[in-house]
Chains A and B, each alone.
Chain A
């Protein structure tokens, strides 16, 4: 377990080193990036092997920081955090592999990238609300620069919109946190202390504080109707940043809801539950239907992320062990799958075809020109459709089971959402890679489209993500055995029961 703080350290140290290395050569900066993310992944896996699942957060580091405010640098993990830390490790490594073609200002790129990763690790490991918020902000700022400097389509607009939405959400969160901190007597930001005090707040205050915290965090999780930053931001971002945005950063929002808002104000959760669930369902269906009619390849994937995150939020709203366990599993699963999809669209396809317009791609026999991309995209698409055998299936199944217990009607709409996901995924597979198949027996017209061959980092990155999604698809208990005991902690139980601990 004590290896976990190193993930943060490796990332921030890697960021500084990458900046230095970038002044010498881009290749060196890339290597620094890969080493730093691999070191982080190794630290998480080492911690995972020594992890004993159990209820409650297990402290890994606890130092005083700002005694006047009762802020401590308190890092701790349970099965939920560990799942998301492993997700971050894998997604970050894959992201570097898919950024291997960055030549322009590579040092700065990887420095920002690693800063973002460090912030993400920090959020997942914080047991102190203030510390969590600091890391949360650290994770937001680099996104702006990554998109604005290395992005594509409409990048200034996308970057600005994303950051404004994120900061608006943060402002709500900060307001909620400070209010709760003051109301609790202003002695401590520790989650456990805040939760103990929160039970005595007037009910109206609890409802309002929960609203501020939950919706503030949910902006980043892509809750409908605050999701509009996500598709534009994902599309504008460079590939690795899209992968991280959809794969990891959106999870920060959902994690904040689960770790901060829900355990602090369980009674308020029960009151807000229907509203959250219906917004989540609206997101699942609306984003899915919008994805069905996009003509930009990357927008399809961008909207699909909003749709999939709707399942996470629905699972949280259903608030029972099955549904929340499923939601955490879905966070992991979507991190892998969204990473893969963005990697195929942004790196494997776009860097070669220089177009993302589906009608243009339809004219190219892509499945023959890029068979590797086709295979990866079909497998990722199957996973995204919730096909059994991939990680999305046990996650969505658990969410459906839990949601059915909370309300069969919600579950019915969620099932319709699965169908919509299948429809848009299949459409985009069909149009993008298999648009021109009449010539199944012709030799590939390779000279018409001189595409660069697929490189080893692309293969390695895709293999890493695919292997993870298949492994968890066939053995979801590897993660569920971490997640379920964590849901037995007093704080989580309170959230799931809808009453004080």
Chain B
């Protein structure tokens, strides 16, 4: 068991599924669904195996696979898993099968599933690869299936939304690539850990251009841009609402649940360790941008009448919390033990928020998808009314996701947001104060959603609304259960990540 290359399996099993689906056109619909679901669930199975063998006390990557690959560019096939990767792998294992199961009825399912599984494998690769060359393959490769999922199975504005999405992200990636080209020409390696070591002791900046040179800052900006577009950091977010809103439900779930974490992961794995000083210097400005996302994202959501766009904007808001916490910690680094408790809280909050947002936002997209399907494509704020009376089961499940997203104590969303606020308040009180405006707006738009759609008299598209069957609810149930469990017993997840974030906060630069 321990000799199996588990991390490679994690990446390649979904891809094998995708290839099998692509090569077997004569498979019956049922067999296609089974095959796709098994390939997608493989992630969860392997993730649980990893979880059982994972030692949370060790902060270095575990289950490492490292093989020489391209000697001429000093590239290694290098996979590793630490607590940060582990929770994202678990998240992928939970969200991906649910998103796939929610798409069983889409036309041309075989193609959909093949693209979807390709995307799933690529996202997992991003969370595991420790060598830039390797990592970038997954990072870029994830765009193509996402593009086709939006383009072919998306709504009426999908063509433009998909094009915008890919070009924005590729635009960022071009500068990310240039940044790493310059890092390689300075340091001669693409290995994240080696680059982080050089970054931590300051020799990377010297190699890049010596004292007083603008080059380290320029390279930092390039890498920052690539990651900021992906997350997205305000004001690079404009591709997101149309892409999420036009994507088919299953793709929206995966985009928001998993893909949006790729950018945050990049900040934690790449930008912060390799450029600690540059990030610290830029942190005040970046905090302003993150606050822009927190506040304006929520306010924009408040102004939406399209439920899907509302949920999309709320993603901008939720992800900005993660970045806000990271920037606050980076800003405070070097101040020693006085802030390390707040920093630990902020970083734990970031990691938990990534996981929790993945669950709740994916669940919300699924719920909007159900509304859309039942009403023949309507998803306006005013198209419904009184859904709770005709579909109490559906309303209950939606309610849990919504209140988790809102941060109600007792549900998982609260834990992450509370820790972030607790941390940011200790590190940069003004930022925490401004961020509460976002909290307020989130409460307003989610409650408006809840009230207009689920309460009131039965109106609009609601008459004839059938409640969820058990089969339809199946993709939602595990996530809903976890939202409650993690809300009551957050230690389940926090225990995994604690040693890692304590170590990060201890050095105030990650190892």
Contacts and interface: CB of A to CB of B under 8 A. Distances in A.
A203 interface: no
Interface string A202-223: 0000000000000000000000
A441 B153 CA distance: 9
Looking at chain A, what size class is its interface with the partner chain?
Answer: 35 or more
Contact of A441 (B107, B178, B222): B107
A408 B216 CA distance: 12
B185 A405 contact: yes
Contacts of B73: 394, 397-398, 476-477, 480
A481 B167 CA distance: 34
Nearest to B167: A423
A404 B186 CA distance: 10
B151 A382 contact: no
A352 interface: no
B175 interface: yes
B4 interface: no
A404 B185 contact: yes
Given A382-B144, A430-B163, A434-B152, A415 B175 contact: yes
B151 A388 contact: no
A331 B53 CA distance: 47
Q: Which of B107, B133, B144 has the most CB of A within 10 A?
A: B144
Contacts of B151: 430, 434, 437
A389 B133 CA distance: 10
A415 B178 contact: yes
B177 A415 contact: yes
A416 interface: yes
Given A408-B182, A408-B215, A430-B163, A397 B177 contact: yes
B157 to A, nearest CB: 12
B346 to A, nearest CB: 33
Contacts of A434: 151-152, 159
Contacts of B178: 400, 404, 411-412, 414-415
Interface string A474-487: 01110011001000
B72 interface: yes
Given A401-B185, A408-B218, A434-B152, A418 B72 contact: no
Nearest to B22: A375
A422 B185 contact: no
Grouping DSSP codes into helix (H, G, I), strand (E, B) and loop, the A interface class, with mixed when no group exceeds half, is helix
A273 to B, nearest CB: 17
A402 interface: yes
A475 B73 CA distance: 11
Interface in A6-62: none
A403 B178 CA distance: 10
Contacts, number: 96
Nearest to B179: A415
A155 to B, nearest CB: 34
Contacts of A411: 178, 181-182
Nearest to B107: A441
Nearest to A367: B152
Interface in B54-85: 70-73
A105 interface: no
Looking at chain B, what size class is its interface with the partner chain?
Answer: 20 to 34
A69 B144 CA distance: 58
Q: Which of A405, A440, A475 has the most CB of B within 10 A?
A: A440
A220 to B, nearest CB: 28
B137 interface: yes
Nearest to A405: B185
Interface in B141-158: 141, 144, 147, 151-153
Nearest to B169: A422
Given A408-B215, A412-B178, A481-B72, A422 B167 contact: yes
Nearest to A479: B72
Q: Which of B71, B181, B182 has the most CB of A within 10 A?
A: B181
A400 B170 CA distance: 16
A400 B181 contact: yes
Contact of A440 (B107, B136, B159, B166): B107
Contact of B182 (A404, A427, A484): A404
Interface in B121-146: 133, 136-137, 140-141, 144
B177 A418 contact: yes
Interface in A319-338: 322, 325
A422 B165 CA distance: 12
Interface string A433-461: 01001001100000000000000000000
Contacts of A196: none
A419 interface: yes
B478 interface: no
A253 to B, nearest CB: 25
Contacts of A404: 178, 181-182, 185
B235 interface: no
A369 interface: no
Nearest to A398: B73
A387 interface: yes
Contacts of B425: none
Contacts of A378: 144
B229 to A, nearest CB: 12
A194 B348 CA distance: 68
Q: Which of A382, A408, A412, A416 has the most CB of B within 10 A?
A: A408
Nearest to B171: A419
A426 interface: yes
B495 interface: no
A418 B218 CA distance: 18
Contacts of B147: 426
A412 B225 CA distance: 13
A416 B222 CA distance: 12
A481 B171 CA distance: 31
A402 B181 CA distance: 8
Nearest to A396: B177
Contact of A322 (B107, B108, B167, B185): B185
A388 B137 contact: yes
Given A394-B73, A414-B178, 5 more contacts: A387-B144, A388-B141, A408-B218, A419-B167, A430-B163
Closest 3 CB pairs of A and B: A441-B107, A480-B72, A400-B181
15 contacts: A387-B144, A394-B73, A401-B184, A402-B185, A414-B178, A415-B175, A423-B167, A430-B159, A434-B152, A434-B159, A440-B152, A440-B153, A476-B73, A477-B72, A480-B72
Interface of A: 322, 325, 378, 382, 385, 387-389, 394, 397-398, 400-405, 408, 411-412, 414-416, 418-419, 422-423, 426-427, 430, 434, 437, 440-441, 475-477, 480-481, 484
